[in-house]
Structure 1
Amino acid sequence: MTRTNGTNGNVEFGSGDEVLPLASVLPRVLVVSRRTVRKNKFVDFVGEYHLDLVVSYGAVPVIVPRVSGLHSLLDSFEPIHGVLLCEGEDIDPSLYESDLSHLSPEEIAKIKKAHSSDTQIDKDKDSIELQLARRCLERNIPYLGICRGSQVLNVACGGSLYQDVETELSSKNGVEVHHINYDNYDGHRHPVNVIEGTPLHEWFAESLKKSSTGSELFVNSYHHQGVKRLATRFQPMAHAPDGLIEAFYDPAVCDPEEGKFIVGLQFHPERMRHEHDIPIESQTSEELMQESIFDYPECPRIYQEFVKAVVAYQKKLLSTGKEKINRKFDAAVMERQRMQIVRSFSLAKIIYEEEHLRSPHSVHGGQHALAALRHGAVPNQSEQELELGARFLQALSCALAMCLEVIRLSILASIWLMGYMLLKKLPCIRLQSNTALNSKQVKFLHEMGATVRNSSLFLEKMQLNERKEAEARKMMEGMQEQELQEFIDFYKMMVDAASTVLQQKRSFKRNF
Structure 2
Amino acid sequence: MSRRSSHTGRRPRIGVTTSAGCRGARLWPLHALALWRAGARPHRLTPTVSPSRVDRLDGLVIGGGDDIAAGVYGGDVRLDVRIDPARDRFELAALERAAVRGLPVLGICRGAQLLNISRGGTLHQDIHRAFADAPRHRTVLPRKQVTLATRGRLRRLLRRSSIRVNSLHHQAVDRLGTGLHVAARDRAGIVQAIEARGPRFLLGVQWHPELLFYQGRQVGLYHALTRAAARGRRRAAGAA
TM over 0.5: yes
1:141 equivalent among 103, 123, 126: 103
Which of 312, 317, 320 aligns to 2:236? It is 317
1:56-102 deviation per Cα after TM superposition (whole angstroms, max 9, x unaligned):
121111112332xx3xx3324532210111111111111112147xx
**Partner Cα distance (1:91, 1:320) in 2:** 38
1:348 aligns with: none
Task: Tell me the amino acid that sits aligned with residue 194 of structure 1.
Answer: L
The residue that corresponds to 2:144 in the other structure is 190
Match of 2:168 among 207, 210, 222: 222
**1:48 corresponding residue in structure 2:** 29
C-alpha contact 1:162 1:226 (8 A) present in aligned 2: yes
1:60 matched residue in structure 2? 41
Q: Measure the CA separation in 2 of the matches of 1:92 and 1:176.
A: 22
- The answer to whether residue 64 in structure 2 is matched with residue 87 in structure 1 is yes
User: How has the CA–CA distance of structure 1 residues 25 and 188 changed in structure 2, closer, same or farther, with 3 Å as cutoff?
Assistant: closer
Higher strand share: 2
* Paired letter, 2:16: V
Higher relative contact order (CA 8 A, sep 6+): 2
Q: CA 1:11 to 1:37, structure 2 compared with 1: closer, same or farther past 3 Å?
A: closer
Structure 1 residue matching 2:74: 3-state secondary structure: coil
Specify the alignment match of 2:128 in structure 1: 166
Equivalent pair of 1:34/1:46 in contact (CA under 8 Å): no
1:251 counterpart (187, 197, 205): 197
Deviation at 1:193, TM superposition (A): 1.3
Query: Map of 1:394-473 to 2, 5 A cutoff?
Result: none
1:98 to 2:75 alignment: yes
Alignment correspondent of 2:4: 11
- Looking at structure 2, the residues matched to 176 and 132 of structure 1 have their Cα atoms a distance apart, in angstroms, of 32
Specify the SS of the correspondent of 2:135.
coil
**For 1:122, which of 61, 65, 84 is the aligned residue?**
84
* CA apart distance, 1:128: 1.0
C-alpha contact (below 8 Å) 2:109/2:208 kept by paired residues:
yes
Q: Give, as a single letter, the amino acid of the residue that structure 2 aligns with 1:217.
A: I
| Structure 2: distance between partners of 1:63 and 1:270 | 14
Alpha-carbon distance in structure 2 between the residues aligned to 1:318 and 1:227:
36
Map 1:355-366 onto structure 2 (within 5 A): none
**Conserved in 1, the CA contact under 8 Å of 2:13 and 2:58?**
yes
Cα distance in 2, alignment partners of residues 136 and 76 from structure 1: 10
Q: Could you tell me the TM-score, scaled by structure 2's length?
A: 0.90
Query: 1:150 maps to which residue?
Result: 112
Count residues with an aligned counterpart: 240
In structure 1, give the amino acid aligned to 2:183. Answer: M
Over the matched positions of the two proteins, sequence identity in percent amounts to 25
Q: Quote the offset at 1:25 in angstroms.
A: 2.7
Paired residues of 1:27 and 1:60 also in contact (CA < 8 A)? yes
- Report SS of the residue matched to 1:78: helix
The amino acid of 1:63's aligned partner reads R
Q: Which runs of 5+ in 1 are unaligned?
A: 13-20, 101-107, 113-118, 209-214, 254-259, 274-292, 322-512
Greater share of residues in helix: 1
Structure 2: which amino acid aligns with 1:309? A
The whole-number CA distance in structure 2 between the counterparts of 1:138 and 1:146 is 21
Residue 33, structure 1, aligned to residue 18, structure 2: yes
Counterpart in the other structure of 1:233: 179
* Unmatched runs of 5 consecutive residues or more in structure 2: none
